[in-house]
Chains A and B, each alone.
Chain A
């Protein structure tokens, strides 16, 4: 089953360090989404791509966050100068664009900032 995959699954870093996460979507899906989920909350939208174009960014996505999807396939999410408040689960989802858009989620990357 070639679902959405994310790497790494866990990341522990010290405050001030940069981290990068990778997401590989389902192969035929042209949309890719990033979410952040903290304990006791539902996923919060961060940004999404349609093919290689980044179409929307949430206000949650400060200038320390950047996401890319250079060839319209996998995507990376980078956080620069990490802060303790960045500790969360970062989820990736993919879908096929259309009015019946259904998102399929990966396992997430759990980030802990010490």
Chain B
């Protein structure tokens, strides 16, 4: 069965630090890839998505992600985090024609 793993359960950073959250998936075919964010008390919101083309995808709020097909990875990055980036981040994979599979999430805490 397809699965999505996220390397870190909880990441704690100071403001202005750089962020990289890992995501790996197990599916050999064509996939669509997503990162969603869930701020405290709010619903899941789409940060960015990759369907095809340039493997470096830019999303909202200064986030970007890079698809590396050979590594089955789609890591999320931000050069300088802010306190308001404190949230839970979910990687999701949508193997073409099949349903979404979400990772377990990474909780990010940014210290002011």
Besides A42-B4, A91-B43, 4 other A-B contacts (C-beta < 8 A): A48-B99, A56-B99, A106-B43, A107-B42
Given contacts A42-B105, A108-B43, contact A100 B51 (CB under 8 A): yes
Q: Collect the chain A residues with CB atoms within 8 Å of residue B45's CB.
A: 105
For the complex, give the distance between the alpha carbons of A40 and B6 in Å: 12
* Interface band, chain A: 20 to 34
Asked if A99 is an interface residue, CB under 8 A from chain B, the answer is: yes
Let me know if B8 is at the binding interface, CB within 8 A.
no
B90 touches A45 (CB 8 A): no
- Considering the complex of A and B, which 7 residue pairs feature the smallest CB-CB distances, nearest first? A42-B102, A105-B44, A107-B43, A43-B102, A45-B99, A42-B90, A100-B51
- Pick from A41, A99, A103, A108: contact of B100, CB under 8 Å: A103
B104 at the interface (CB under 8 A from A): yes
Indicate with 1 or 0, residue by residue over A67-100, a CB within 8 angstroms of chain B CB atoms. 0000000000000000000000001010000011
Q: Do the beta carbons of A102 and B34 come within 8 Å of each other?
A: yes
CB distance from B102 to the nearest CB of A (A): 3
How many contacts A-B (CB < 8 Å)?
49
Question: How long is the Cα–Cα vector from A43 to B100 in the complex, in angstroms?
Answer: 9
B32 touches A40 (CB 8 A): no
When C-beta atoms are compared, the residue in chain B nearest to A92 turns out to be: B43
Check if B99 sits within 8 Å of A102, measured CB to CB: no
Q: Which residues of B contact A105 (CB under 8 A)?
A: 36, 43-45
A101 interface contact, C-beta 8 A: yes
How far, in angstroms, from A2 to B90 measured CA to CA in the complex?
A: 24
Within B80-106, the residues touching A (CB, 8 Å) are 90, 92, 94, 96-97, 99-105
